[in-house]
Amino acid sequence: MVRSILFLVFPNVGEQDLIAPWELMRSVAWNLHERGETLDVSLGSFEKGVVSTQMGTVIQPARMLSSADRFDMVYVPGGIGAGALSANEAVLAWLRANHDEGRWVAANCAGMGVLHRAGVLKDAPVTAPATLARRLAAQGAHVVSPRRAWKIVPARRIFSVAGAGTVHPSTIALAWHLFGDDVGRGLASGWDALPLFGESLFSLDGPVMHDDEHVKRSLQDAWEDVFLPATTLV
């Protein structure tokens, strides 16, 4: 069972990609605590001190991480800094070690490129943001088409999320899968998501993303090299 979730903090991480799912899971942890159950949800970083986000907010992570640390789920958010993170061999090796030991890995938006470079996706069916869907598929990732808002693959312990607009509903879907129908529905109701998204929240596969192909190609041309550089950064 998942009893610890670590949200990875790194320079130029996307605020919405990080804080929104962290806040929702903290809410789940509070509710579980009221029932006598424990869920540790924390922010952690391999960086010392405060970390500056993509838009300039500074975060003081609760945990300073080491290569020996393990969590039931590691969540890699997106943001411009995910491109550099995808070339950080120490972080990639740590992600592989967590997953190789049977633990969950998760990512949203550009964080999907980090999971890909860590080698944990393999042939698992995943989704991705429009900006990375083309490059990930070209490099061998099994990006489903049409894209989905999220994909939960329990057998592989992989949770993948598309772009930033899908972060809120996808986290509710993840809570529903990991902690049960009552927890998922309670979260969806309490955060006023149920009236908007309805039963689509309670599924391993999120709604279909209706891409405008011209817009998608424009985004890919502009952002692929930022979010997932084709060559290793020095």
- The answer to whether residues 199 and 184 touch, using CB atoms and an 8 Å cutoff, is no
Predicted TM-score (pTM) above 0.95? yes
Residue pLDDT, tens place only, 44-63: 999 999 999 999 999 999 99
| CATH class for the domain made up of 4-222 | alpha beta
Q: Tell me what pLDDT residue 48 has.
A: 93
Per-residue pLDDT at 232 exceeds 60: no
pLDDT digits (tens, 9 = 90+) for 68-123: 999 999 999 999 999 999 999 999 999 999 999 999 999 999 999 999 999 999 99
User: Can you tell me the distance from the alpha carbon of 77 to that of 108, in angstroms, rounded to the nearest whole number?
Assistant: 5
Angle at 133 (CA atoms; ends 98, 74), nearest 5 degrees? 20
Crossing angle for the helix pair 181-190 and 15-34, nearest 10 degrees? 120
DSSP state, residue 154: T
Neighbours of 181 (CB within 10 A): 10
Rounded to whole angstroms, how far apart are CA atoms 79 and 24? 19
Q: Which residues of 26-53 are buried (b: 16+ CB within 10 A; e: fewer)?
A: bbbbebbeeeeeebebbbbbbeeeebeb
pLDDT for residue 234 is more than 50: no
Say what the pLDDT of residue 190 is.
96
Inter-residue contact 73 to 38 (CB < 8 Å): no
Give 9-54 pLDDT, tens digit per residue.
999 999 999 999 999 999 999 999 999 999 999 999 999 999 999 9
CA distances from 93 to 67, 115, 161, 211, 231 (A): 8, 11, 22, 34, 18
Domain extent listing, the chain: 4-222
Asked whether the CA dihedral 30, 31, 35, 37 is positive or negative, the reply is negative
CA distances (Å), 177 to each of 1, 21, 83, 102, in order? 11, 15, 29, 17
Q: Please tell me the distance from the alpha carbon of residue 83 to that of residue 111, in angstroms, as a whole number.
A: 8
Is the pLDDT assigned to residue 231 strictly greater than 80?
A: no
